[in-house]
Protein backbone atom coordinates (compact mmCIF):
# COMPACT_ATOMS: atom_id res chain seq x y z
CA UNK A 1 0.00 0.00 0.00
CA UNK A 2 1.40 3.41 -0.97
CA UNK A 3 0.81 6.65 0.80
CA UNK A 4 -1.67 7.89 -1.79
CA UNK A 5 -3.87 4.83 -1.27
CA UNK A 6 -4.50 5.76 2.29
CA UNK A 7 -6.32 8.95 1.44
CA UNK A 8 -8.77 7.35 -0.95
CA UNK A 9 -12.09 6.85 0.78
CA UNK A 10 -15.39 5.74 -0.62
CA UNK A 11 -18.64 7.24 0.70
CA UNK A 12 -19.35 4.17 2.83
CA UNK A 13 -15.90 4.42 4.33
CA UNK A 14 -16.64 8.01 5.11
CA UNK A 15 -19.84 7.11 6.91
CA UNK A 16 -18.08 4.40 8.85
CA UNK A 17 -15.37 6.85 9.77
CA UNK A 18 -17.87 9.43 10.98
CA UNK A 19 -19.44 6.83 13.18
CA UNK A 20 -16.03 5.87 14.43
CA UNK A 21 -15.00 9.41 15.21
CA UNK A 22 -18.23 9.97 17.10
CA UNK A 23 -17.53 6.84 19.09
CA UNK A 24 -13.94 7.79 19.75
CA UNK A 25 -15.06 11.28 20.67
CA UNK A 26 -17.49 9.75 23.15
CA UNK A 27 -14.71 7.53 24.45
CA UNK A 28 -12.23 10.36 24.75
CA UNK A 29 -14.81 12.42 26.65
CA UNK A 30 -14.76 9.64 29.28
CA UNK A 31 -18.42 10.33 29.97
CA UNK A 32 -20.08 7.48 31.80
CA UNK A 33 -22.50 6.32 29.10
CA UNK A 34 -24.61 4.40 31.60
CA UNK A 35 -25.07 7.52 33.69
CA UNK A 36 -25.79 9.52 30.55
CA UNK A 37 -28.46 7.01 29.56
CA UNK A 38 -30.10 7.33 32.95
CA UNK A 39 -30.22 11.11 32.69
CA UNK A 40 -31.93 10.73 29.32
CA UNK A 41 -34.40 8.20 30.81
CA UNK A 42 -35.17 10.60 33.64
CA UNK A 43 -35.79 13.49 31.23
CA UNK A 44 -38.08 11.27 29.15
CA UNK A 45 -40.06 10.31 32.26
CA UNK A 46 -40.36 13.97 33.25
CA UNK A 47 -41.53 15.11 29.85
CA UNK A 48 -43.99 12.20 29.57
CA UNK A 49 -45.57 12.93 32.94
CA UNK A 50 -45.66 16.60 32.13
CA UNK A 51 -47.65 15.93 28.98
CA UNK A 52 -49.94 13.38 30.65
CA UNK A 53 -50.66 15.68 33.58
CA UNK A 54 -51.32 18.69 31.38
CA UNK A 55 -48.20 20.59 32.42
CA UNK A 56 -48.42 19.97 36.15
CA UNK A 57 -45.24 17.94 36.49
CA UNK A 58 -42.52 20.34 35.37
CA UNK A 59 -43.47 23.10 37.75
CA UNK A 60 -41.17 24.65 40.31
CA UNK A 61 -43.42 23.47 43.10
CA UNK A 62 -43.54 19.86 41.96
CA UNK A 63 -39.82 19.62 41.22
CA UNK A 64 -38.97 21.24 44.55
CA UNK A 65 -41.14 18.68 46.37
CA UNK A 66 -39.63 15.92 44.27
CA UNK A 67 -36.14 16.99 45.33
CA UNK A 68 -37.11 16.83 49.00
CA UNK A 69 -38.93 13.50 48.68
CA UNK A 70 -36.01 11.90 46.85
CA UNK A 71 -33.43 13.08 49.35
CA UNK A 72 -34.01 10.60 52.17
CA UNK A 73 -33.96 7.49 49.94
CA UNK A 74 -31.06 8.85 47.90
CA UNK A 75 -28.95 9.47 51.02
CA UNK A 76 -29.29 5.81 52.02
CA UNK A 77 -28.86 4.58 48.43
CA UNK A 78 -25.33 6.02 48.33
CA UNK A 79 -24.40 3.66 51.17
CA UNK A 80 -26.31 0.73 49.71
CA UNK A 81 -24.14 0.98 46.58
CA UNK A 82 -21.02 0.12 48.55
CA UNK A 83 -22.81 -2.73 50.35
CA UNK A 84 -24.06 -4.29 47.11
CA UNK A 85 -20.76 -3.66 45.30
CA UNK A 86 -19.04 -5.73 47.99
CA UNK A 87 -21.50 -8.55 47.30
CA UNK A 88 -23.67 -8.03 50.38
CA UNK A 89 -27.14 -6.68 51.01
CA UNK A 90 -28.75 -4.70 53.81
CA UNK A 91 -32.42 -5.46 54.42
CA UNK A 92 -32.45 -3.69 57.77
CA UNK A 93 -32.21 -0.08 56.59
CA UNK A 94 -35.95 0.64 56.81
CA UNK A 95 -36.28 -0.74 60.33
CA UNK A 96 -33.00 0.81 61.37
CA UNK A 97 -34.17 4.17 60.05
CA UNK A 98 -37.39 3.82 62.06
CA UNK A 99 -35.51 2.87 65.19
CA UNK A 100 -32.91 5.64 64.92
CA UNK A 101 -35.62 8.20 64.16
CA UNK A 102 -37.53 7.07 67.21
CA UNK A 103 -34.44 7.24 69.43
CA UNK A 104 -33.63 10.75 68.23
CA UNK A 105 -37.21 11.77 68.93
CA UNK A 106 -37.07 10.27 72.43
CA UNK A 107 -33.83 12.14 73.13
CA UNK A 108 -35.36 15.51 72.23
CA UNK A 109 -38.87 15.04 73.57
CA UNK A 110 -38.23 12.97 76.70
CA UNK A 111 -34.63 12.61 77.86
CA UNK A 112 -33.32 16.16 77.52
CA UNK A 113 -36.44 18.08 78.53
CA UNK A 114 -37.94 15.69 81.09
CA UNK A 115 -35.47 13.09 82.34
CA UNK A 116 -32.66 15.60 82.61
CA UNK A 117 -35.07 18.45 83.33
CA UNK A 118 -33.39 20.84 80.91
CA UNK A 119 -36.56 21.97 79.17
CA UNK A 120 -37.70 22.01 75.54
CA UNK A 121 -36.10 23.72 72.55
CA UNK A 122 -32.65 24.34 73.96
CA UNK A 123 -30.01 25.51 71.45
CA UNK A 124 -28.12 22.22 71.80
CA UNK A 125 -31.10 19.84 71.69
CA UNK A 126 -30.92 19.13 67.96
CA UNK A 127 -27.16 18.64 68.05
CA UNK A 128 -27.34 16.12 70.88
CA UNK A 129 -30.25 14.25 69.28
CA UNK A 130 -28.52 14.09 65.90
CA UNK A 131 -25.19 13.07 67.44
CA UNK A 132 -26.86 10.28 69.42
CA UNK A 133 -28.57 9.06 66.25
CA UNK A 134 -25.41 9.12 64.13
CA UNK A 135 -23.36 7.39 66.82
CA UNK A 136 -25.99 4.74 67.43
CA UNK A 137 -26.31 4.20 63.67
CA UNK A 138 -22.57 3.67 63.42
CA UNK A 139 -22.57 1.24 66.36
CA UNK A 140 -25.49 -0.80 65.03
CA UNK A 141 -23.90 -0.83 61.58
CA UNK A 142 -20.64 -1.98 63.13
CA UNK A 143 -22.40 -4.81 64.99
CA UNK A 144 -24.19 -6.04 61.86
CA UNK A 145 -21.04 -5.60 59.79
CA UNK A 146 -18.96 -7.45 62.37
CA UNK A 147 -21.25 -10.45 62.31
CA UNK A 148 -21.23 -10.46 58.49
CA UNK A 149 -17.48 -9.93 58.02
CA UNK A 150 -15.96 -11.76 60.96
CA UNK A 151 -18.78 -14.12 61.89
CA UNK A 152 -19.25 -15.37 58.36
CA UNK A 153 -23.04 -15.14 58.58
CA UNK A 154 -24.54 -14.12 55.20
CA UNK A 155 -25.52 -10.45 55.11
CA UNK A 156 -29.00 -11.43 53.94
CA UNK A 157 -29.56 -13.33 57.20
CA UNK A 158 -27.91 -10.81 59.50
CA UNK A 159 -29.85 -7.87 58.14
CA UNK A 160 -33.07 -9.88 57.93
CA UNK A 161 -32.58 -10.37 61.66
CA UNK A 162 -31.89 -6.64 62.01
CA UNK A 163 -35.04 -5.90 60.02
CA UNK A 164 -37.10 -7.65 62.71
CA UNK A 165 -35.06 -6.58 65.72
CA UNK A 166 -34.92 -2.80 65.12
CA UNK A 167 -38.60 -2.58 64.23
CA UNK A 168 -39.47 -4.60 67.32
CA UNK A 169 -37.33 -2.39 69.53
CA UNK A 170 -39.31 0.69 68.53
CA UNK A 171 -42.34 -0.81 70.23
CA UNK A 172 -40.37 -1.84 73.30
CA UNK A 173 -39.18 1.74 73.84
CA UNK A 174 -41.15 3.82 76.31
CA UNK A 175 -44.87 3.89 75.84
CA UNK A 176 -45.36 0.91 73.54
CA UNK A 177 -44.52 2.91 70.47
CA UNK A 178 -46.67 6.00 70.86
CA UNK A 179 -46.21 8.78 68.32
CA UNK A 180 -43.72 11.35 69.60
CA UNK A 181 -44.52 14.90 68.61
CA UNK A 182 -43.75 17.76 68.27
CA UNK A 183 -40.00 17.73 67.88
CA UNK A 184 -37.40 20.34 68.68
CA UNK A 185 -37.88 23.54 66.67
CA UNK A 186 -34.36 23.55 65.24
CA UNK A 187 -34.29 19.81 64.58
CA UNK A 188 -37.46 20.21 62.54
CA UNK A 189 -35.60 22.35 60.01
CA UNK A 190 -33.54 19.33 58.90
CA UNK A 191 -36.71 18.03 57.26
CA UNK A 192 -37.01 20.91 54.81
CA UNK A 193 -40.15 22.89 54.19
CA UNK A 194 -40.22 26.60 53.51
CA UNK A 195 -38.39 27.33 56.76
CA UNK A 196 -35.92 24.50 56.46
CA UNK A 197 -34.43 25.90 53.28
CA UNK A 198 -31.52 28.08 52.33
CA UNK A 199 -33.53 31.06 51.11
CA UNK A 200 -32.68 33.12 48.09
CA UNK A 201 -29.19 34.56 48.55
CA UNK A 202 -27.71 31.51 50.29
CA UNK A 203 -29.00 29.30 47.49
CA UNK A 204 -27.14 31.48 45.03
CA UNK A 205 -23.99 31.22 47.13
CA UNK A 206 -24.38 27.43 47.04
CA UNK A 207 -24.86 27.57 43.27
CA UNK A 208 -21.75 29.69 42.76
CA UNK A 209 -19.75 27.35 44.99
CA UNK A 210 -21.01 24.47 42.85
CA UNK A 211 -19.95 26.20 39.63
CA UNK A 212 -16.54 27.00 41.07
CA UNK A 213 -16.20 23.38 42.19
CA UNK A 214 -17.09 22.03 38.74
CA UNK A 215 -14.58 24.31 37.01
CA UNK A 216 -11.85 23.65 39.56
CA UNK A 217 -12.19 19.86 39.43
CA UNK A 218 -12.12 19.83 35.62
CA UNK A 219 -9.07 22.11 35.63
CA UNK A 220 -7.31 20.05 38.29
CA UNK A 221 -7.81 16.71 36.61
CA UNK A 222 -6.55 18.23 33.36
CA UNK A 223 -3.46 19.65 35.03
CA UNK A 224 -2.63 16.34 36.73
CA UNK A 225 -2.97 14.34 33.56
CA UNK A 226 -0.80 16.82 31.70
CA UNK A 227 1.85 16.58 34.39
CA UNK A 228 2.07 12.82 33.97
CA UNK A 229 1.67 13.04 30.21
CA UNK A 230 -1.39 10.80 30.27
CA UNK A 231 -3.37 12.41 27.47
CA UNK A 232 -6.12 14.95 28.07
CA UNK A 233 -9.47 15.67 26.52
CA UNK A 234 -9.57 18.39 23.84
CA UNK A 235 -9.55 21.78 25.56
CA UNK A 236 -12.82 22.73 23.88
CA UNK A 237 -14.51 19.68 25.32
CA UNK A 238 -13.33 20.45 28.85
CA UNK A 239 -14.54 24.04 28.56
CA UNK A 240 -17.83 22.75 27.16
CA UNK A 241 -18.29 20.43 30.14
CA UNK A 242 -17.52 23.25 32.57
CA UNK A 243 -19.99 25.64 30.91
CA UNK A 244 -22.65 22.94 30.71
CA UNK A 245 -22.20 21.95 34.35
CA UNK A 246 -22.48 25.57 35.50
CA UNK A 247 -25.57 26.16 33.36
CA UNK A 248 -27.32 23.10 34.83
CA UNK A 249 -26.55 24.22 38.38
CA UNK A 250 -27.71 27.80 37.76
CA UNK A 251 -30.85 26.68 35.91
CA UNK A 252 -31.70 24.21 38.69
CA UNK A 253 -31.41 26.84 41.37
CA UNK A 254 -33.20 29.59 39.44
CA UNK A 255 -36.08 27.49 38.15
CA UNK A 256 -36.65 25.06 41.01
CA UNK A 257 -35.27 26.42 44.27
CA UNK A 258 -35.89 30.12 43.73
CA UNK A 259 -38.86 29.59 41.48
CA UNK A 260 -40.83 27.87 44.23
CA UNK A 261 -42.26 30.57 46.43
CA UNK A 262 -43.15 29.77 49.99
CA UNK A 263 -46.90 29.31 50.37
CA UNK A 264 -46.69 31.11 53.73
CA UNK A 265 -44.55 34.16 53.13
CA UNK A 266 -44.46 34.31 49.35
CA UNK A 267 -40.66 34.57 49.36
CA UNK A 268 -38.50 32.28 47.26
CA UNK A 269 -37.73 29.20 49.38
CA UNK A 270 -34.34 28.22 48.01
CA UNK A 271 -32.69 24.82 48.26
CA UNK A 272 -34.22 22.67 51.02
CA UNK A 273 -31.91 21.41 53.78
CA UNK A 274 -32.49 17.70 52.98
CA UNK A 275 -31.28 18.44 49.47
CA UNK A 276 -28.24 20.27 50.85
CA UNK A 277 -27.54 17.20 53.02
CA UNK A 278 -27.95 14.95 49.99
CA UNK A 279 -25.52 17.04 47.93
CA UNK A 280 -22.90 16.94 50.68
CA UNK A 281 -23.42 13.17 51.20
CA UNK A 282 -23.17 12.49 47.45
CA UNK A 283 -19.93 14.45 47.14
CA UNK A 284 -18.40 12.84 50.22
CA UNK A 285 -19.45 9.32 49.26
CA UNK A 286 -18.20 9.78 45.70
CA UNK A 287 -14.89 10.96 47.10
CA UNK A 288 -14.75 7.95 49.43
CA UNK A 289 -15.67 5.52 46.65
CA UNK A 290 -13.36 6.93 43.99
CA UNK A 291 -10.48 8.63 45.70
CA UNK A 292 -9.92 6.80 49.00
CA UNK A 293 -8.25 3.48 49.56
CA UNK A 294 -11.32 2.19 51.35
CA UNK A 295 -13.47 2.74 48.29
CA UNK A 296 -10.90 1.12 46.02
CA UNK A 297 -10.84 -1.91 48.33
CA UNK A 298 -14.64 -2.17 48.35
CA UNK A 299 -14.66 -2.32 44.56
CA UNK A 300 -11.66 -4.67 44.40
CA UNK A 301 -13.32 -7.03 46.87
CA UNK A 302 -16.55 -6.91 44.88
CA UNK A 303 -14.72 -7.60 41.63
CA UNK A 304 -12.66 -10.50 42.95
CA UNK A 305 -12.68 -11.27 46.69
CA UNK A 306 -9.79 -13.71 46.32
CA UNK A 307 -7.61 -11.20 44.50
CA UNK A 308 -8.33 -8.61 47.16
CA UNK A 309 -7.30 -11.06 49.87
CA UNK A 310 -4.13 -12.05 48.05
CA UNK A 311 -3.41 -8.36 47.47
CA UNK A 312 -3.00 -8.05 51.21
CA UNK A 313 -6.21 -6.09 51.71
CA UNK A 314 -7.95 -6.41 55.04
CA UNK A 315 -11.19 -7.46 53.40
CA UNK A 316 -13.10 -8.18 56.60
CA UNK A 317 -12.49 -4.72 57.97
CA UNK A 318 -13.46 -3.24 54.61
CA UNK A 319 -16.78 -5.11 54.58
CA UNK A 320 -17.50 -4.14 58.18
CA UNK A 321 -16.96 -0.46 57.44
CA UNK A 322 -19.45 -0.53 54.55
CA UNK A 323 -22.08 -1.42 57.15
CA UNK A 324 -20.86 1.28 59.54
CA UNK A 325 -21.28 3.86 56.77
CA UNK A 326 -24.73 2.48 55.99
CA UNK A 327 -25.75 2.87 59.65
CA UNK A 328 -24.59 6.50 59.73
CA UNK A 329 -26.47 7.29 56.51
CA UNK A 330 -29.62 5.62 57.94
CA UNK A 331 -29.35 7.98 60.91
CA UNK A 332 -29.11 10.99 58.57
CA UNK A 333 -32.16 9.85 56.62
CA UNK A 334 -33.97 9.12 59.86
CA UNK A 335 -33.33 12.70 60.97
CA UNK A 336 -34.65 14.01 57.65
CA UNK A 337 -37.79 11.86 57.74
CA UNK A 338 -38.73 12.45 61.39
CA UNK A 339 -38.01 16.15 61.06
CA UNK A 340 -40.16 16.34 57.94
CA UNK A 341 -43.06 14.67 59.76
CA UNK A 342 -42.29 16.66 62.91
CA UNK A 343 -42.98 13.36 64.65
CA UNK A 344 -41.58 9.91 65.23
CA UNK A 345 -44.03 7.17 64.37
CA UNK A 346 -43.66 3.43 64.72
CA UNK A 347 -44.01 2.65 61.04
CA UNK A 348 -41.41 5.19 59.92
CA UNK A 349 -39.27 3.77 57.16
CA UNK A 350 -41.44 0.72 56.48
CA UNK A 351 -40.48 -0.68 53.05
CA UNK A 352 -37.67 1.83 52.74
CA UNK A 353 -35.17 -1.01 52.35
CA UNK A 354 -36.91 -1.98 49.12
CA UNK A 355 -36.88 1.59 47.81
CA UNK A 356 -33.22 2.00 48.68
CA UNK A 357 -32.16 -1.27 47.08
CA UNK A 358 -34.28 -0.47 44.00
CA UNK A 359 -32.70 2.97 43.72
CA UNK A 360 -29.21 1.50 43.84
CA UNK A 361 -30.09 -1.19 41.31
CA UNK A 362 -31.88 1.15 38.89
CA UNK A 363 -28.78 3.30 39.26
CA UNK A 364 -26.64 0.56 37.73
CA UNK A 365 -25.38 -1.29 40.80
CA UNK A 366 -24.86 -4.97 40.01
CA UNK A 367 -25.57 -7.81 42.42
CA UNK A 368 -22.68 -9.71 40.84
CA UNK A 369 -20.47 -7.28 42.72
CA UNK A 370 -17.86 -4.73 41.79
CA UNK A 371 -20.07 -2.48 39.70
CA UNK A 372 -21.99 0.61 40.77
CA UNK A 373 -21.69 4.35 41.18
CA UNK A 374 -22.82 6.79 43.84
CA UNK A 375 -24.26 9.40 41.41
CA UNK A 376 -26.04 6.52 39.65
CA UNK A 377 -27.79 5.50 42.86
CA UNK A 378 -28.85 9.09 43.53
CA UNK A 379 -30.24 9.30 40.00
CA UNK A 380 -31.97 5.95 40.59
CA UNK A 381 -33.66 7.37 43.67
CA UNK A 382 -34.78 10.45 41.73
CA UNK A 383 -36.16 8.26 38.92
CA UNK A 384 -38.14 6.14 41.41
CA UNK A 385 -39.51 9.20 43.17
CA UNK A 386 -40.33 10.85 39.83
CA UNK A 387 -42.40 7.81 38.87
CA UNK A 388 -44.28 7.87 42.15
CA UNK A 389 -44.79 11.59 42.18
CA UNK A 390 -45.89 11.62 38.55
CA UNK A 391 -48.41 8.86 39.17
CA UNK A 392 -49.78 10.71 42.18
CA UNK A 393 -50.33 13.73 39.93
CA UNK A 394 -52.18 11.45 37.51
CA UNK A 395 -54.29 10.21 40.43
CA UNK A 396 -53.19 6.62 40.06
CA UNK A 397 -53.97 4.38 43.02
CA UNK A 398 -51.14 3.20 45.20
CA UNK A 399 -51.27 -0.53 44.29
CA UNK A 400 -50.93 0.40 40.59
CA UNK A 401 -47.99 2.61 41.50
CA UNK A 402 -46.29 -0.36 43.12
CA UNK A 403 -46.86 -2.47 40.00
CA UNK A 404 -45.32 0.17 37.76
CA UNK A 405 -42.30 0.66 40.02
CA UNK A 406 -41.82 -3.12 40.10
CA UNK A 407 -42.01 -3.39 36.32
CA UNK A 408 -39.59 -0.49 35.87
CA UNK A 409 -37.13 -2.04 38.31
CA UNK A 410 -37.00 -5.37 36.48
CA UNK A 411 -36.95 -3.69 33.07
CA UNK A 412 -34.08 -1.39 34.06
CA UNK A 413 -31.93 -4.28 35.23
CA UNK A 414 -32.80 -6.36 32.15
CA UNK A 415 -31.87 -3.49 29.83
CA UNK A 416 -28.63 -2.94 31.72
CA UNK A 417 -27.57 -6.57 31.49
CA UNK A 418 -28.54 -6.83 27.80
CA UNK A 419 -26.44 -3.76 27.04
CA UNK A 420 -23.54 -5.31 28.93
CA UNK A 421 -23.87 -8.50 26.86
CA UNK A 422 -24.14 -6.44 23.69
CA UNK A 423 -27.59 -7.77 22.82
CA UNK A 424 -29.23 -4.75 21.24
CA UNK A 425 -32.39 -6.48 20.13
CA UNK A 426 -33.14 -8.09 23.46
CA UNK A 427 -32.53 -4.70 25.03
CA UNK A 428 -35.09 -3.04 22.77
CA UNK A 429 -37.54 -5.89 23.39
CA UNK A 430 -37.20 -5.51 27.15
CA UNK A 431 -37.63 -1.75 26.84
CA UNK A 432 -40.80 -2.04 24.79
CA UNK A 433 -42.34 -4.75 26.97
CA UNK A 434 -41.63 -2.68 30.07
CA UNK A 435 -43.07 0.47 28.49
CA UNK A 436 -46.23 -1.26 27.26
CA UNK A 437 -46.98 -2.91 30.62
CA UNK A 438 -46.34 0.35 32.48
CA UNK A 439 -48.53 2.28 30.06
CA UNK A 440 -51.41 -0.20 30.44
CA UNK A 441 -51.19 -0.17 34.23
CA UNK A 442 -51.06 3.64 34.33
CA UNK A 443 -53.95 3.98 31.91
CA UNK A 444 -56.19 1.47 33.73
CA UNK A 445 -55.15 2.61 37.21
CA UNK A 446 -56.47 6.15 36.84
CA UNK A 447 -59.20 6.93 39.30
Partner 1 sequence: MTDTTTQPSTEVDYSGVPLVEMRDIRVAFGGIHAVDGVSVDLYPGEVVALVGGNGAGKSTLIHTLAGAHPCDSGDIIVNGTPVTIRNPRDARGLGIEVIFQKLALADNIDAAGNVFLGREMRNRFGALDDSAMASATRDVMKRLNPRFKNLKTPVKSLSGGQRQSVAIARAVHFNAKILIMDEPTAALGPAETAQVRDLVTQLKAEGIGIFLISHDIHDVFDLSDRISVMLQGKLVGTVKKNEVTKDEVLAMIIMGKQPGEATSREIAELHG
Kindly indicate which of the ranges 106-114, 120-128, 286-294, 439-447 contains the residues binding partner 1, using the contact rule CB under 8 A.
286-294
Cβ closest to partner 1, residue 293 vs residue 424 = 293
Question: What does each C-alpha distance from 178 to 93, 170, 175, 304, 433 come to in angstroms?
Answer: 21, 9, 6, 47, 45
Helix ranges (DSSP H) in 150-198: 155-172, 185-188
Give me Rg for the CA atoms of the chain: 24
Q: Which position among 302, 376, 434, 445 is part of the footprint of partner 1 (CB under 8 A)?
A: 302
**Any contact of residue 168 with partner 1 (CB under 8 A)?**
no
Cβ closest to partner 1, residue 43 vs residue 223 = 223
Count other C-beta atoms under 10 Å from residue 168's C-beta: 12
* Cβ–Cβ under 8 Å, residues 308 and 297: yes
Q: Give CA angle at 88 (86, 91), nearest 5°.
A: 140
**Any contact of residue 213 with partner 1 (CB under 8 A)?**
no
**Any contact of residue 227 with partner 1 (CB under 8 A)?**
yes
Count other C-beta atoms under 10 Å from residue 74's C-beta: 33
> What DSSP string runs through 121-138?
S-TTHHHHHHHHHHHHHH
**Any contact of residue 309 with partner 1 (CB under 8 A)?**
yes
Q: Which position among 229, 263, 266, 447 is part of the footprint of partner 1 (CB under 8 A)?
A: 229
Side-chain-side CA neighbours of residue 193 (13 Å): 17
**Any contact of residue 312 with partner 1 (CB under 8 A)?**
yes
Contact positions with partner 1 (CB under 8 A) in 30-49? 30
> What DSSP string runs through 249-299?
HHHHIIIIIITSB-TTT-SB--SBHHHHHHHHHHHHHHHHHHHSHHHHHHH
**Any contact of residue 285 with partner 1 (CB under 8 A)?**
no
**Any contact of residue 84 with partner 1 (CB under 8 A)?**
no
Cβ closest to partner 1, residue 61 vs residue 317 = 317
**Any contact of residue 287 with partner 1 (CB under 8 A)?**
yes
**What CA–CA distance (Å, rounded) separates 37 from 69?**
23
CB of 229 vs partner 1, minimal distance in Å: 7
Sign of CA dihedral 222, 226, 227, 229: positive
Cβ closest to partner 1, residue 170 vs residue 300 = 300
- Kindly state the DSSP code that residue 307 receives in the 8-state scheme: H
Q: Which position among 79, 196, 270, 370 is part of the footprint of partner 1 (CB under 8 A)?
A: 370
- Bridge partners (DSSP) of residue 268 are 261
Helix ranges (DSSP H) in 311-363: 315-341, 352-362
**Any contact of residue 310 with partner 1 (CB under 8 A)?**
yes
**Any contact of residue 19 with partner 1 (CB under 8 A)?**
no
Kindly indicate which of the ranges 235-243, 273-281, 302-310, 353-361 contains the residues binding partner 1, using the contact rule CB under 8 A.
302-310
**Any contact of residue 299 with partner 1 (CB under 8 A)?**
yes
Q: Which position among 228, 235, 236, 263 is part of the footprint of partner 1 (CB under 8 A)?
A: 228
**Any contact of residue 219 with partner 1 (CB under 8 A)?**
no
CB of 296 vs partner 1, minimal distance in Å: 6
Contact positions vs partner 1 (CB under 8 A): 30, 224-225, 227-230, 287, 290-293, 296, 299-304, 306-313, 370-371
Amino acid sequence: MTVSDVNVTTPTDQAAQDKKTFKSLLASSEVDTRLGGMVVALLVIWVAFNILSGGNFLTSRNLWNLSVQSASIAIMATGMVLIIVSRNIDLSVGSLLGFLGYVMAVVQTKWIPESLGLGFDQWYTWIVALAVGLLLGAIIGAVQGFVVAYGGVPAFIVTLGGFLVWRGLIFRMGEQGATLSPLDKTFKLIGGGPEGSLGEWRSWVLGLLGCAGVCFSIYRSRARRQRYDLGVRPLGMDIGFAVFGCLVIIAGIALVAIGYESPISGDPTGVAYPVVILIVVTLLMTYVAKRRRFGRYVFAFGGNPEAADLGGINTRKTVMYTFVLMGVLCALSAAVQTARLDAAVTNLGVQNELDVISAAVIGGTSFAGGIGTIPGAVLGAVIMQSLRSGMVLLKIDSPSQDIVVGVVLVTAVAIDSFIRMGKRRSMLAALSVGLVISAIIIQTGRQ
